[in-house]
Amino acid sequence: MKKIINCPAKLNLTLEIIKKMKSGFHELRTIMVKLPNLKDKLEIEIFPEKKGIEIICDNLEIPTDSKNICHKAIKKFFKKAKKEVGVKVKIKKQIPVGAGLGGGSSDAAEVFKVLNQYFRNRFSIKELIKMAAEIGKDIPFFFSEKNGSLIGGTGEKILEEFDFKKGYFLIINPRIKIPTPEAYKNLSNNLWFMENGNRIDLSRNFLENLKNNFEKYFYNDFEVFVEKKYAIIKELKQSLLTFGADGVLMSGSGSTVFGWFKDEKKFLKAKKILKEKYNNFLVIRG
């Protein structure tokens, strides 16, 4: 069996970290959307008469041993299914690494789906999500049937799904890698209002205003610390606003920044200008 699959990136349109749990993980509220124009490509082969896992990737930054998230997904599935076959995964990376775009999580979700299909839907989606959350907190989102979701818990709870087909995203990645553990450590040590029960639920407000002016609820708790360390993040946001974006934000724990445009002409003009200015960055339509 061989499958070729496109794995979409994601953006966080809100990201509220509201509690540090005894487990060390953080409870959050976040609105995520899938990006139709930024995808990794996976080629997954299954060999019924063999055992073993082989990961191949065209990006040397990606580990191909047991540290690879697709490798972890396969091992987790085999352990739960109590069965093994041979699996080869070829990854063609298009989604930047360590950029807050969920590339590895998206890849892993598709691996879970393909294995489950091969084993005749041995597990329900709920069961797949549970095991996926054990290796990566962003993975469950990529099981959503729609392209937008409100996510809760530590990232494993899909609370509500919705269709998001509004406007145009301009994605800029300055090729800075921000380790997620470092970002969360800064947050826990410095964000005094993180566990304040009086915080407004901006993610819920975003959903309630989905038909009009939702962009005013774009929000990310990580921005305040990342912008202090990397001035380029604030510069990119200001540039996007200057050239017509109706809303701007950093995705995840960084370093990707996006602008959302209502108007296609403004979007195209901004894309041209910013692609020329930041020609060593990734500047694409999301």
Task: Quickly list DSSP for 194-220.
Answer: TT-TT---HHHHHHHTTTS-GGGG-EE
Structural domains in the chain, sorted by start: 2-162 (3.30.230.10), 168-285 (3.30.70.890)
Q: What is the dihedral sign for C-alpha 237, 239, 242, 245?
A: negative
Higher pLDDT: 186 or 76? It is 76
Mean pLDDT of the region 168-184: 90
- Better-predicted residue by pLDDT, 155 or 190: 155
Q: How far apart are CA 110 and CA 145, in angstroms?
A: 13
How much is the average pLDDT of 118-122?
Answer: 96
Please report which confidence band the pLDDT of residue 23 belongs to, taking 50, 70 and 90 as the band edges. confident
DSSP track, 50-78 = --EEEEEES-TTS--STTSHHHHHHHHHH
Going by C-alpha positions, the residue among 59, 152, 53 that lies closest to residue 98 is 59
Task: State both tokens at 52.
Answer: 């073993």
- So what's the pLDDT on residue 37? 93
Q: Which two tokens stand for residue 180?
A: 């997620």
User: How confident is the model over 181-206, as pLDDT tens digits?
Assistant: 888 888 877 788 888 889 999 999 99
Tokens representing 197 are 């029960």
Tell me the backbone φ, ψ of residue 26, rounded to 5 degrees.
-115, 135
**Which residue of the set 34, 76, 107, 138 is catalytic?**
138
Q: Write the pLDDT tens digit of every residue in 201-246.
A: 999 999 999 998 999 999 999 999 899 999 999 999 999 999 999 9
Cα 150 to its chain centre, rounded Å, is 13
| pLDDT above 70: percentage of residues in the chain | 100
- Mean pLDDT, all residues of the chain: 95
- Note the pTM of the prediction, 2 decimals: 0.94
Model confidence band, residue 174 (pLDDT cutoffs 50, 70, 90) = very high
Catalytic (active site) residue 201: no
**In this predicted structure, what is the pLDDT of residue 10?**
97
Classified as helix, coil or strand, 264 is helix
Q: How many CA atoms does the CB half-sphere of 141 hold within 13 Å?
A: 33
**pLDDT-derived band at 109, boundaries 50, 70, 90:** very high
* Whole-number pLDDT of residue 100: 92
CB neighbour class for 83 (10 Å; exposed up to 12, middle 13-18, buried from 19):
exposed
